[in-house]
């Protein structure tokens, strides 16, 4: 009994030292990260930043979405349909909008928060995802079946990983910019989505109302690209004055020329 207090007393300085070292280490790491961020990210004056927003339209007849037969796997319940062309009141969803050119030699650090892909109802949520180069992409499986996640990049490393219901979320990053990189599940051949990896943080994907918004842009002249998985790419030149909130709309035409 008498030995215990002396043991704790003896150990206390060591524990304090370790604790202090850990604290120093984490504060150093944070400082280093800050320094690194400062060193590699080009600073942007927050007082002058501008934004761009708009609506993407689809001109032409919209084919009825194709129903998906998921009877191959009894665990895939509910209804499912193709998401190749999602149009609501003429507004087009799932369009990537990003600054393609005009940022010069500016460099950017990826955000520390991950973007999430959820596999639910044997479909991907979202259907089109955008992340920054080096940003963590977290892939979850909320289905009562196994999926495999297989991106098919052209400029990044390819991988194919199985994810059961009990597996922890998969964490992956892509090092190089790549637009509309297909990703699919080979167990459920209808499961297909697109990942966009952008080398700057100025991007957005249109929502179900066809709307997008990109904030925090330094004033300047840019090429704004609009990319759709099937309809291809449209570009616009824009010039943003300091603090300007510009509206830039775009319209895709039916590929059949209807």
Partner 1 sequence: MKHGSRSSRQPLSGSTTLKAIETTYNPRHHRFAVILACWTFLLIVAGALVTSNDAGLSVPDWPTSFGSWYKIPKLVGGVKFEHTHRMIAQVAGLLTIILAIWTWKVDKRRWMRILGLVAVGTVVVQGVLGGLTVLFYLPPAVSSAHAAVAQTFFCIAVVMAMFTGRQWIEEHPCVEFDGRKPTLFTLTLLSILVLYVQLLLGAMFRHHGMSWWPHVLNAVVVSFVLAWTAIRALSIYSHIEAVRRPAILMLSLLITQLGLGFLAFQTRVEWGKDAVQPELPMVVSTVVHVAVGALLLATTVVLAIQVWRHVPVAFEERVPQAQRDASVA
Contact 113, 90 (CB under 8 A): no
Q: Which of residues 193 and 224 has its CB atom nearest to partner 1 in the complex? A: 193
Q: Which of residues 216 and 255 has its CB atom nearest to partner 1 in the complex? A: 255
Q: Which of residues 45 and 69 has its CB atom nearest to partner 1 in the complex? A: 69
HEC string of the chain equals CCHHHHHHHHHHHHHHHHHHHHHHHHHHHHHHHHHHHHHHCCCCCCCCCEEEEEEEEEECCCCCCCECCCCCCCCCCCCCECCCCCEECCEECCCEEEEEECCCCCCCCCCCCCEEEEEECCEEECCEEEEECCCCEEEEECCCCCEEEEECCCCCCCCCEEECCCCCCEEECCCCCEEEEEEECCCCCCCEEEEEEECCCCEEECCCCCEEEEEEECCEEEEEEEEECCCEEEEEEEEECCCCEEECCEEEECCCCC
CB of 199 to partner 1, least distance (A): 24
CB of 161 to partner 1, least distance (A): 6
CB of 96 to partner 1, least distance (A): 20
Q: Which of residues 135 and 172 has its CB atom nearest to partner 1 in the complex? A: 172
Contact 212, 227 (CB under 8 A): no
CB of 167 to partner 1, least distance (A): 12
Residues contributing to the site for partner 1 (CB under 8 A):
66, 68-69, 72-75, 81-82, 84, 145-146, 148, 150, 152, 158, 160-162, 184, 186-190, 192
CB of 129 to partner 1, least distance (A): 19
Measuring CA to CA, how many Å separate 20 from each of 5, 27, 42, 132, 149?
22, 10, 33, 35, 42
Q: Which of residues 31 and 161 has its CB atom nearest to partner 1 in the complex? A: 161
CB of 204 to partner 1, least distance (A): 26
Q: Which of residues 73 and 118 has its CB atom nearest to partner 1 in the complex? A: 73
Q: Which of residues 111 and 189 has its CB atom nearest to partner 1 in the complex? A: 189
Residue 160 has a CB neighbour count (10 Å cut-off) of 12
CB of 132 to partner 1, least distance (A): 25
């Amino acid at each position: 009994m008498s030995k215990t207090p002396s043991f704790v007393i003896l150990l206390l300085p060591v524990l304090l030292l370790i604790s202090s070292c850990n604290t120093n280490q984490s504060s150093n790491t944070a400082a280093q990260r800050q320094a690194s961020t400062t060193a590699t990210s080009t600073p942007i004056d927050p007082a002058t930043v501008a934004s761009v927003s708009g609506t993407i339209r689809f001109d032409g007849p919209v084919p009825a979405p194709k129903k998906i037969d998921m009877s191959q796997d009894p665990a895939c319940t509910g209804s499912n349909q193709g998401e190749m062309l999602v149009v609501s009141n003429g507004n087009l969803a799932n369009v990537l909008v990003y600054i393609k050119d005009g940022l010069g030699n500016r460099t950017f650090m990826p955000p520390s928060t991950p973007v999430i892909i959820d596999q639910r109802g044997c479909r991907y949520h979202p259907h089109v995802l955008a992340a920054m180069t080096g940003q963590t992409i977290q892939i979850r499986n909320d289905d009562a079946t196994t999926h495999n996640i297989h991106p098919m990049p052209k400029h990044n490393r390819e991988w194919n990983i199985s994810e059961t219901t009990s597996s922890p979320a998969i964490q992956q990053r892509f090092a190089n910019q790549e637009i509309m990189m297909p990703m699919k599940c080979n167990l459920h051949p209808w499961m297909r989505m697109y990942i966009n990896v952008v080398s700057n943080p100025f991007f957005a994907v249109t929502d179900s109302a066809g709307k997008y918004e990109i904030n925090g842009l330094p004033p300047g002249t840019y090429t704004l690209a609009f990319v759709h998985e099937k309809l291809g790419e449209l570009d616009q030149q824009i010039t943003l004055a300091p603090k300007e909130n510009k509206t830039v709309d775009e319209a895709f035409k039916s590929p059949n020329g209807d």
